[in-house]
Amino acid sequence: MNGDWLIRGRDGRLSVYLPSGEAVLCRAERGPGGPWGIARKVGGDQLLHPVLAVGQGPDRYAHLVSWRPTGKVESGLVHSTHFRPHLAALDWHPIGHPDKKGIRTGPPAVAVDAQGRAHVFVRNSGGGVSLLTQKEKGGWNPWWDLKGRDVQGELAAVTGESGRVELYAAVPGALLHWRQEEPGAQPVLQEAMEASVRPDTLHALATSADSTTLFYTDDSGDLCVWRPGGKPTAVLAAAGPGPVSAVRCELDGHDCTLLAQRSASGRVAFAAYPTQDESAGAWWTESGPSLPADALVRVTLDEDDRVVAASLSPSTGTLLLTRRKEEPGLALEAWREI
């Protein structure tokens, strides 16, 4: 899965999305902070490949993208919108292929701009990145080739506080960054930064009115951050091999960035530091039970802006959840299975 699969909906309810067999499932709170309902299929009976990208805009609608089989070896992308967790999502709608037709070219990524338009990024057969964008009043624009080459692993799409969409990608020995100059415009390749980066470890977050921050693991095993226009900085050793999740939150009156990652021991590790002040230092604190090797970790904020962390095992469907206690620091409630 690529994107924030743990999200807070327009009505304040939390929900999670996960591929299951040839479908995508959604589980949601029955009410904000309340018990959770059963898993429900999203988007109708369309058969899907086990891949999912999730994006959410300021309207808090969820945009889902997956690949579907269109022939013996060929596939095409499909899109669905989920307006509220307790309602049915729209049926999957075919949106094409970056090369008109062919095999799956890579995992998609989704970001949603200030006008609520989904931006679907995916690697093309040339090794670069292609983009498909929604029109504001329905339908889709033609595919754009954003160039680049030798793109590896998952893309990291993010919407800045300006409402404009940005994209990060890993290539051998470097990171690439695209950014929109104007709302609705084609993102432009702004910078290529020399860096050693492990593919499939990228995560991007809006961290100020003017900038977004990319988190990734380098070849030496350090968790690094990069804000375009500057140099990458190592924050601390990565807790484990997978991607990190990050959210901005208030801790004891300070604007902080909270990181969460499945550690090498199998538990969830947390670290926090003042937003965009990596020099302040950070360290990991582990929490909860040991998780399956395929467990994914995500953090978000609930309707009361309390930190919520979740782990999800795609192989078993096991969902564990914890919330921050109403006390100083980052004390968490006991993890519970949903």
Which residue has 């484990």 as its token pair? Answer: 240
Q: Worst-scoring range by mean pLDDT, 13-17, 30-34, 61-65?
A: 30-34
Does the pLDDT at position 304 exceed 90? yes
In a shared domain, residues 158 and 233: yes
In a shared domain, residues 92 and 110: no
Query: Where residue 147 falls among pLDDT bands split at 50, 70, 90?
Result: very high
Rounded mean pLDDT, 1-23? 94
Q: How far is CA 20 from CA 86, 225, 236, 248, in A?
A: 19, 32, 34, 30
Percent of the chain at pLDDT exceeding 90: 92
Which of 68, 96, 124 is the last residue before a domain boundary?
Answer: 96
Which residues, 6+ apart, have CB-to-CB distance to 147 below 8 Å?
A: 128, 129, 189
Which tens digit of pLDDT belongs to each residue from 183-242? 889 999 999 999 999 999 999 999 999 999 999 999 999 999 999 999 999 999 999 998
Does the pLDDT at position 254 exceed 90? yes
Which tens digit of pLDDT belongs to each residue from 58-107? 899 999 999 999 999 999 999 999 999 889 999 999 999 999 999 999 99
Which tens digit of pLDDT belongs to each residue from 134-145? 998 889 999 999
Strands of the 109-112 sheet, one edge to the other:
109-112, 118-123, 129-133, 144-145
Which of 185, 215, 238 is the last residue before a domain boundary?
Answer: 238
In a shared domain, residues 194 and 78: no
Residue 196 has a pLDDT of 96
In a shared domain, residues 66 and 110: no
In a shared domain, residues 72 and 133: no
In a shared domain, residues 82 and 124: no
Measured distance CA(154)–CA(149) in Å, rounded: 14
In a shared domain, residues 314 and 265: yes
Does the pLDDT at position 327 exceed 90? no
Burial code (b: 16+ CB inside 10 Å, e: under 16) for 27-66 equals bbbeeeeeebbebeebbeebebeebbbbbbbeebbbbbbb
Which tens digit of pLDDT belongs to each residue from 65-77? 999 999 999 999 9
In a shared domain, residues 221 and 160: yes
Rounded mean pLDDT, 238-261? 95
Residue 5 has a pLDDT of 95
- How many CB atoms are located within 10 Å of the residue 338 CB? 15
Residue 326 has a pLDDT of 86
Residue 276 has a pLDDT of 97
Long-range contacts (CB closer than 8 Å, 24 or more residues apart) made by 327-335:
328/252, 329/251, 329/252, 330/251, 330/258, 330/270, 330/272, 330/285, 332/287, 332/307, 335/287, 335/288, 335/289, 335/311
Query: Where residue 34 falls among pLDDT bands split at 50, 70, 90?
Result: confident
Query: Where residue 316 falls among pLDDT bands split at 50, 70, 90?
Result: confident
Query: Where residue 10 falls among pLDDT bands split at 50, 70, 90?
Result: very high
Does the pLDDT at position 111 exceed 90? yes
Side-chain-side CA neighbours of 265 within 13 Å: the count stands at 11
Domain that holds residue 205: 104-238
Residue 314 has a pLDDT of 86
CB 102 within 8 A of CB 47: no
Residue 66 has a pLDDT of 98
Measured distance CA(143)–CA(167) in Å, rounded: 16
Q: How far is CA 183 from CA 113, 116, 137, 178, 235, in A?
A: 8, 11, 15, 14, 32
Nearest alpha-carbon partner for 202 in 181, 228, 175: 175
Query: Where residue 315 falls among pLDDT bands split at 50, 70, 90?
Result: confident
Backbone angles phi, psi at 311, to 5 degrees: -125, 145
Residue 261 has a pLDDT of 97
Rounded mean pLDDT, 34-51? 94
Query: Where residue 285 falls among pLDDT bands split at 50, 70, 90?
Result: very high
Tokens standing for 76?
């095409």
Query: Where residue 171 falls among pLDDT bands split at 50, 70, 90?
Result: very high
Measured distance CA(252)–CA(150) in Å, rounded: 44
Residue 191 has a pLDDT of 95
Which of 96, 119, 144 is the last residue before a domain boundary?
Answer: 96
In the chain, the number of structural domains is: 3
Query: Where residue 329 falls among pLDDT bands split at 50, 70, 90?
Result: confident
In a shared domain, residues 151 and 184: yes
> Tell me, what CATH number does 112's domain have?
2.115.10.20
For the CA atoms of 88, 74, 117, 58, the dihedral, rounded to the nearest 10 degrees, stands at 60
In a shared domain, residues 34 and 113: no
Query: Where residue 38 falls among pLDDT bands split at 50, 70, 90?
Result: very high
